[in-house]
Amino acid sequence: TYDDFDGNSIDPLRWGISDPSGIASVSGGFLHVDSPPNLDPNPWLHLTLPQQLYGDFGIMLSFQNFSYDSPPIQLGDSPSISLQASWYDSDTRYEAFVVRVVRSNGDVFFSNYAPSSSDGEEASTTSTEGKLFLLRRGSTYQMGYDDGTQTVILQTFEGGWTGEVSLDLMSSTGFDG
């Protein structure tokens, strides 16, 4: 699946769309996510690929102009963009993800395979553009980023789920917009 966001709105034939705060727009070949400060609740966008992914796959999400007015006030108020594969096994939700997020102690790339891996991996960053990627080859997952200066695999998890997965792209502007 490829989407260059070349129209004037998110294509509902390519994505399941949840944008309750109306923060998403499309123009100039880009998906824009922006909101005014103090929009309550924390504004977010959630795009879901309508079909399940099977077998080996590689997903890359490019981003530009990742910026914010001030660091988050509290946990959960953070501006972020993430790429996530998720599935259920025996009524337990699992996910492999990589995220570019703002934390009170600085900006980071973060990845995890949850709930199987208790500790995720993170790397500090100052990049405002780059790429997030998530790969699955057999039962091995790799999550990482390219910030324009280097490509980094944050985490490799072996022995992971090999069945069908859902793919989600998510973004939040945080409480301060």
Report which of residues 106 and 127 the model is more confident about: 127
Paired tokens of 139 = 């039962």
Q: What is the mean pLDDT of residues 157-161?
A: 90
- What spatial distance separates the first Cα and last Cα of the chain, rounded to whole Å? 30
Spacing of C-alpha 130 from chain mean position = 12
Structure confidence at residue 164 (pLDDT): 93
Q: State pLDDT tens for residues 25-47.
A: 888 888 888 876 656 566 788 89
Predicted TM-score (pTM) of the model is 0.85
pLDDT of res. 39? 60
User: How far is residue 173's CA from residue 160's CA, in Å, rounded to a whole number?
Assistant: 31
Residue type, 137: R
Q: What Cα–Cα distance (Å) separates residue 96 from each residue in 68, 76, 172?
A: 26, 19, 18
60-87 pLDDT tens trace: 998 888 877 665 555 556 788 888 999 8
Q: Which two tokens stand for residue 131?
A: 């790429």
* Nearest C-alpha neighbor of 88 from the set 169, 13, 12, 163: 163
